[in-house]
Amino acid sequence: MENEVVVSVRDLRKTYGAKVAVDGISLEVRRGEVFGVLGPNGAGKTTTVECAAGLRRPDGGTVRVLGLDPVADPAVRYRVGVQLQHAVLPNRMKVREAVRIFASAYPRHADPDALLAEWGLAEQHGTAFAALSGGQRQRLFIALALLGEPEVVVLDELTTGLDPAARRDTWSLVRALLAKGVSVLLVTHAMDEAEQLCDRLVVVAAGRGAAAGTPAMLRGAHTSLESAYLALTGEVA
Ligand SMILES: Nc1ncnc2c1ncn2[C@@H]1O[C@H](COP(=O)(O)OP(=O)(O)OP(=O)(O)O)[C@@H](O)[C@H]1O
């Protein structure tokens, strides 16, 4: 259904002890789009998407994924794939073991070999996690996030640490996901990624949404998205 909302976050609040990490963020991801979350370090981006994926319990506001509360209805989490920024695997775990273990967690899953090939890891089946390069680890975590054939994918700093060619390849693969009707919630610091990949985005600063819209709308009268972003987040005078 066109414009169907697959993730809805309304007035989200989350604190860690005395620290207010998210202070009233709202966003909606529609089916088949890439929705970006942009903002400075510590702005609350990861916390927001972790709540959206049902990995953290909000202190306030509402989260709905495919119409369900991911905390109260954990089954909906099988329909969400998550690639997290600081994920690690045991050093000795081989790529093929990782995909087998993750695949066993899903009632239905993609063909692991095809997925590894798609993400350029066909030759790394027998490689231990510790021996993978940064880019290979990143692609492995993306492949693991896609193993359950999710309808919604959360990608936190998708291309951080990848070389320019790998970033472009990754963007193409994400676009291929969209063509299959998958929706993407993407955390990024990269302005080019936001412009190239995101249909719509929210700029967050200090736990709040500072502005939202298409990249063109956010750019507005500024010369670039980066200059609009810096003005919105108050990072430059
Ligand atoms: N588990 C935690 N315990 C305590 N404080 C936390 C925890 N996770 C995050 N925070 C704090 O909450 C705030 C928001 O963190 P979050 O990771 O959501 O920001 P972010 O925008 O994703 O940052 P970055 O761009 O640096 O990854 C930060 O001040 C952070 O230090």
Per-residue pLDDT tens listing for the chain (237 residues): 668 999 999 999 999 999 999 999 999 999 999 999 999 999 999 999 999 999 999 999 999 999 999 999 988 888 999 988 778 899 999 999 999 999 998 888 999 999 999 888 999 999 999 999 888 888 899 899 999 999 999 999 888 878 888 888 889 888 988 988 899 999 998 999 999 999 999 999 999 998 999 999 999 888 889 999 898 888 764
User: Cβ(58) to ligand 1 under 6 A?
Assistant: no
> How far, in Å, from the CA of 44 to the mean position of ligand 1?
6
User: Cβ(46) to ligand 1 under 6 A?
Assistant: yes
Nearest by Cα to 37 from 153, 233, 185: 185
Nearest by Cα to 191 from 226, 142, 165: 226
Task: Give the helix/strand (H/E) hosting 10.
Answer: strand 5-16
Nearest by Cα to 183 from 21, 18, 29: 29
Closest approach atom of ligand 1 to CA 85: 27
User: Cβ(86) to ligand 1 under 6 A?
Assistant: no
Residue 237: the pLDDT is: 42
User: Cβ(43) to ligand 1 under 6 A?
Assistant: yes
What single-letter amino acid sits at 147? L
15 vs 23, 24, 65, 124, CA distance in Å? 8, 11, 21, 40
Residue 122: which residues within 8 A CB-CB, separation 6 or more? 113, 116
User: Cβ(44) to ligand 1 under 6 A?
Assistant: yes
> CA dihedral in degrees (42, 45, 47, 48; nearest 10)?
150
CA 56 to chain centroid:
15
Domains of the chain: 5-233 (3.40.50.300)
Residue 88: the pLDDT is: 87
Cα gap 126→144, rounded to integer Å: 16
> How far, in Å, from the CA of 127 to the mean position of ligand 1?
32
Rounded to a whole number of angstroms, the distance between the first and last alpha carbons of the chain is: 43
Q: What is the pTM of this model?
A: 0.92
Using a 10 angstrom Cβ sphere, with 0-12 exposed, 13-18 middle and 19 or more buried, the burial of residue 216 is exposed
Closest approach atom of ligand 1 to CA 22: 14
Burial 135-171 (b: 16+ CB within 10 A, else e): bbbbbbbbbbbbbbebbbbbbbbbbeebeeebbebbb
Residue 1: the pLDDT is: 60
